[in-house]
Structure 1
Amino acid sequence: MLNYPRGDKQMNPMNLLQLKPAWDQFRSNHPKLIQFIKASAREDVMDEGTLIEINIKTSAGKSLSSNIRVRQSDLEFLRALKDIAQD
């Protein structure tokens, strides 16, 4: 069970249901990304200290990059998310 700090907004589960058609379309449009995410979760490739990088390059050639260093709390969140997705 995840504990949220006081003052953090909680997501309304009904809003998630409204995203389902868009999620289904995204999965259909980008199957390689979904396969990549599933493989990284299935193979337990992430541990505390893992660096996740995201790079975006627009059609105009502009680049934007960011990264995060995975913490133990991130791993707990991802495990909970994975469990929810499997139900």
Structure 2
Amino acid sequence: MPLDVVRLRVLVAVARTGTVTAAARELHYSQPSVSHHLARLEAETGAKLVQRVGRGIRLTEAGRLLAERGAEILGRLDAASAELAAHVGLRAG
């Protein structure tokens, strides 16, 4: 099953910020929405990506691996989008 880009963004934000709360704030999502995206990503991948620790979470080894690759993928997607927008802008102008 292909990875969902929105859910990948959520995982990368959680990895970068360290908490669901901070990731939700950065993405302008609610905390339950971030938790839902993480749960769906785990279900879709069949891998445990986060581990509950006290009141927080920690990425598992699989979660860290996917977050690292996800950051690379999202960087390329964002770059492609920016390059295309610039190209279209040049052609339109």
Q: Same fold (TM over 0.5)?
A: no
Normalising by structure 2, report the TM-score.
0.27
- Normalized per residue, the structure richer in helix is 2
Normalising by structure 1, report the TM-score.
0.29
